[in-house]
Amino acid sequence: MRLSVLLSVCLLLWSCTSAPIEPFELSIQDFNYASAYSKVYSISNEGLKIVFKGELENESDRILFTSIDIPVRNLRQLSQVDFDNLKAIYSNQCVLDGDIKFFTYKKKDTLKKVIVENYFHDELSPAIDIINELVPKEHQILYDEKEIKELMKGCEEILIMETFPEIQKN
């Protein structure tokens, strides 16, 4: 009896952790306007890659880091992020220092883009934490959750937009 219960529990635990992870791709573009560059962090079922994108003349993109060794628990957590219910823009207008993160999430036939400016978001913050766990310190995304939350306190100019604004072309 004990053996059958133990086997049942083991089988249940194994089946929960071995379920296939739905294919996805998440990229976070971390802009540094003061230094005229950005880094693009791309993670998917296939692996993780960081690309430097220089914004100055004659600068070319270059790969800074790659890895195919992504723990299944991290992939599972990222594949379950609920991007469908996110707005397009989350911005703390009280701090305009150029700290901008541009999230792009692809899953099945869905593509979602979200901009975060000096804003802490419960659903998106873990993605940054996961990537920072997986990359060397010199390539981590600069993101101080405690500082961002502090900057948001008392700010009456938080901008949240459902969609991206239309850009007028002349």
- Per residue in 14-28, pLDDT (tens digit) is 444 568 888 999 999
Which residue carries 């971390």 as its tokens? 30
| Angle made by CA atoms 92, 97, 103, in degrees to the nearest 5 | 65
112 forms beta bridges with 105
Please state whether the predicted TM-score (pTM) of the whole model is above 0.85.
no
In a domain, 150, yes or no: yes
In a domain, 11, yes or no: no
In a domain, 4, yes or no: no
Ranges of residues in the chain with a pLDDT under 70 are 1-18, 168-170
In a domain, 6, yes or no: no
Structural domain for 125, as ranges? 21-161
Other CB atoms within 10 A of residue 119 CB: 25
Sheet of strand 100-107, all strands in order from the earlier edge strand to the far edge? 62-67, 47-54, 37-44, 24-32, 100-107, 110-117, 89-92, 158-161
Torsion of CA 78, 79, 80, 82, to 10 degrees: 90
Q: For position 15, what pLDDT does the model report?
A: 43
The span from the CA of 26 to the CA of 72, in Å, is 15
Number of domains in the chain: 1
Q: For position 17, what pLDDT does the model report?
A: 55
In a domain, 29, yes or no: yes
Question: Which residues neighbour 109 within 8 Å (Cβ) at sequence distance 6 or greater?
Answer: none
In a domain, 33, yes or no: yes
In a domain, 149, yes or no: yes
User: Strands, E, within 61-157: which ranges?
Assistant: 62-67, 89-92, 100-107, 110-117
In a domain, 75, yes or no: yes
CB distance 22 to 108 below 8 Å = yes
